[in-house]
Structure 1
């Protein structure tokens, strides 16, 4: 009987929700997210959406607007690619 009462109080203490102080922090997914098209690039031209030529990773791209501005300043297109192979963006989409 005593074990049941102690177990009940411990269970209630563990199940009590805790109030969070402040706001929850946002995840740093970057401008393109983290899934398939997770790599931000600045590319000069696109070939059928499969291959982008002369791609470089922008030095500062914290969000989508920053990526577009950074690439636009260099006269390049903002793209979100799967991978970067020797300066070529593979399977990219417009940012």
Structure 2
């Protein structure tokens, strides 16, 4: 009788635990044309971005990526040719970022 009480208590405790959060946010899917996460200043025609730098932290999610870049007055972008003379050639908005 005690065995079933202990077993049900363990099962209830395990089922009440929250699921682990997804830690592998990939704003710029690897292998694609836009695979380099960047914080960029100005967008020209939504294709070329000026004053681009790599984020100073690894983004945990879309809001965190946008916040990292906003600290330096820049916007989160995914670029093809990153950090060539501080230009991000062929850039687009990352997954989940609104602006």
Instruction: Provide the TM-score with structure 1 as the length reference.
Output: 0.63
Distance in 1 between residues matched to 2:26 and 2:86, nearest whole Å = 20
* Structure with larger Rg: 1
The CA deviation at 1:32 is: 1.1
> Where in structure 2 are there 5+ consecutive unaligned residues?
1-21, 95-99
Partner of 1:42, secondary structure, is strand
Partner of 2:65, secondary structure, is helix
Distance in 1 between residues matched to 2:25 and 2:33, nearest whole Å = 12
Aligned to 1:38: 35
The CA deviation at 1:74 is: 1.2
Aligned residues: 71
Corresponding residue to 2:57 among 60, 77, 80:
60
1:16-59 deviation per Cα after TM superposition (whole angstroms, max 9, x unaligned):
xxxxxxxxxx8x57321112211011111001122110001012
Instruction: Provide the TM-score with structure 2 as the length reference.
Output: 0.61
> Where in structure 1 are there 5+ consecutive unaligned residues?
1-25
Distance in 2 between residues matched to 1:87 and 1:94, nearest whole Å = 18
Distance in 2 between residues matched to 1:59 and 1:38, nearest whole Å = 17
